[in-house]
Chains A and B, each alone.
Chain A
Amino acid sequence: MPALVIDHLVKTYGDVRALDDISFTVEAGELFGFVGANGAGKTTAMRIALGVLRADSGTVTWDGSPIDLARRSRIGYMPEERGLYPRMKVGEQLVYLARLHGMGRADAERAMAHWTEVLGVADRRDDAVEKLSLGNQQRVQLASALVHGPEILVLDEPFSGLDPVAVGVMSEVLRGEAARGVPVIFSSHQLELVEQLCDRVGIVRSGRLVASGGIDELTALERPRWTLEADLPAAWTPGVPGVTAARVSERMWSVEAADAAAAPAVLASAVQSGRVTSFVPNRPTLTELFRDVVAEPEGEAA
């Protein structure tokens, strides 16, 4: 299966190390979320993946070969700072961009019609881009990344500034593209969205990839934890080996075990001792994970 491989990228601007040895892989058909604080190096990494910027060292390959101009025209790109000709009409502009990517006129017209329809801006085709609302401009921007039927999608902050309906439409489109076998990399600060949408995430900090992997992998804990809500005697203990329970409040207990397999035994013990209202595994959210990783002091993060 082809994969987009980002291998040991380094990029410096003067004394600033924008990218410090970043490597990750995005398989075909995979949604990869790229998160990090502002200025962490996400945009630089995406620009290099696209060939708009040149790395000081390291390579980007797709299906085993480096990304040259011909291959680059098969990438759909949405830059962080939106860019369209403000005075050009939506339809004309999309057709022009599709043709720059090597499409014929008829195909380009058809693709433009399709994507403006899907993204809900079909009735604005004959308006200049600057006349559209920001949200609609954003939809057109996404259409410009999709209009030439790309083999790879690189989207920098595709969700910023969108209303919930548009976020839904755009998520659907990204899922659809991934299902078509396209590797999709996108960056976002909306971590809940990343958590819902992505197969895997990469967290960057000061130019380094400090964590990457599947959401489950990343948020899994060394010692699984649960929150138990029940009417239990104050002296209740689960009575399962390797499991400790602490009373947090009147009806709340925090349970920790060496192994997730202990869960049924713990629950059974609680049910015997009193009335249980809920028993939930405690996983950190991506937001918590992100905060932990990014807040760590420089030395430890390395």
Chain B
Amino acid sequence: MIWLIARREFRTRALSKASLVTSSVMIVLIVVGALIAKPFLESDGDAETIQVASGPTAALAPYLQAVAAAQGTDVEVIEVVDPATDALDEGVAAVLTGAVTQPELFVDSADDAVVGLVQAAVQAAALDAQVEALGGDPAQVSQALAGSTAAVIVLGDADGFDSGEFFAGFVVILVLFFVLVQSASVIMMGVVEEKSSRVVEILLATVRPSTLLGGKVLGVGLYALMQAASLMLPLVFAAVYLDLLGSIGISVGALLLNFSVWFVLGFALFTVLFGGLAALVSRQEDLGSVTTPMMLLMMVPLYLAIYLVPNSPDGPVTAGLTQVPFFAPFLVPMRLAFDAISPLEVASAIVLCLIAIPLFVWLAGRIYAGAVLNTGGRMRIADALRRR
């Protein structure tokens, strides 16, 4: 029975024209965007060409290459007899002419990265020349320079703010938040639609209120999961295709697993409650009086996860709130991203959520059953619980 209801919910949502169009547009946008972006991103990685005039200037070429290597940029240095200096040739970033210590650099704009590179190369060449003039060995000097570094001992918070970890956690909970908000509003609209069209009365004649609510949550949940997947997969494809993940430095698998576990738990907790509360009103126009407070309430764990966790990833307050089911779906993924949570804490948070879900279902079912046949204005929660 619950599957019949879930199936209907899933089909009406998933097969609606709006949903199909939105999903396919998003998929196409992401994939096409990745395909289009690829050449641009790659051209960024292309070696920049610096033309060096033959003659004395050519002595700078090895220095240019050494500096470029040290900075991690790709530079191609080409020796050219009498290069064009009034306008740069196609594909040429800079032209260097003149004496080694005082060359002339021709570029398109003064703030090109290549200016700093040439500057450093010229200085290195000058230093070598000076060292040699004083009778020293330039190789020894640069070795000595490279060898002398200070050992850094951090006295402040050992877990410095890591933007990569923060970003990974942030993406997970933000996606979670938006998926939850979207699904919750779909469920609430569904509940009110049934209520305002009065179809709920013939449904309740044969189905228990909790079954009806459960089927709804299940169907919409599967739909939301499918929709999230239809966005995540092209996104992952884009990320892999464009080789973006290397720069963030986290594994996709862990991120997705993290997301899916807390998606399911968070989904069950929040949407069930939202569905129950939606039954308090009878018309779509009145839905705002229930949704707005709930949305604001949901932002509390979101903001805690964004602001509290980076500042105190394993402080007592954070650890305490992690065990509260209402906060856990947001706090745990964030703390996992910061690697500041023990497996035991994760396990107990999951167990507590699993215990809380039936309680939430029961509470929401009571509210739903009490309020769903009430017509007219918005009902108070206490009245709904007393009904029936």
**Contact residues of A with B, CB < 8 Å?**
47, 50-54, 69, 72-73, 75, 77-79, 81-88, 96-97, 99-101, 144-145
Contacts and interface: CB of A to CB of B under 8 A. Distances in A.
A85 B194 CA distance: 7
B201 A83 contact: yes
Contacts of B375: 81
Contacts of B202: 77-79, 83, 97, 144-145
B222 to A, nearest CB: 17
Nearest to A130: B197
Contact of A72 (B1, B206, B373): B206
A69 B211 CA distance: 12
A117 to B, nearest CB: 21
B208 interface: yes
B38 interface: no
A82 B193 CA distance: 13
B205 interface: yes
B230 interface: no
Given A85-B197, A96-B4, A100-B4, A77 B205 contact: yes
Contacts of B197: 83-86
Given A79-B198, A100-B1, A88 B12 contact: yes
Nearest to A99: B4
A50 B203 CA distance: 11
21 contacts: A50-B205, A52-B373, A53-B388, A69-B206, A73-B206, A77-B202, A77-B205, A79-B201, A81-B198, A81-B375, A82-B198, A83-B197, A83-B198, A83-B202, A85-B193, A85-B199, A87-B12, A96-B4, A96-B8, A99-B4, A144-B202
Interface of B is mostly: helix
A47 B203 CA distance: 12
A249 B205 CA distance: 57
B195 to A, nearest CB: 9
Contacts of A82: 198
B207 interface: yes
A100 B208 CA distance: 11
| Nearest 5 interchain pairs by C-beta | A83-B198, A83-B199, A79-B201, A73-B206, A81-B198
Contacts of B8: 96
Given A72-B205, A84-B199, A100-B207, A53 B373 contact: yes
Q: Which of B1, B8, B193, B201 has the most CB of A within 10 A?
A: B201
A72 B209 CA distance: 14
A100 B206 contact: yes
A79 B388 CA distance: 18
B208 A69 contact: yes
B294 to A, nearest CB: 25
A101 B194 CA distance: 18
Given A52-B373, A53-B373, A100 B201 contact: no
B207 A52 contact: no
B200 interface: yes
Contacts of A75: 205-206
A26 B8 CA distance: 36
A51 B388 CA distance: 11
B120 interface: no
B204 interface: yes
Nearest to A145: B202
Contacts of A83: 197-202
Interface string B204-239: 111110000000000000000000000000000000
Contacts of B193: 85
Contacts of B207: 100
Nearest to A83: B198
A50 B200 CA distance: 13
Contacts of A85: 193-194, 197, 199
Contacts of B205: 50-52, 72-73, 75, 77
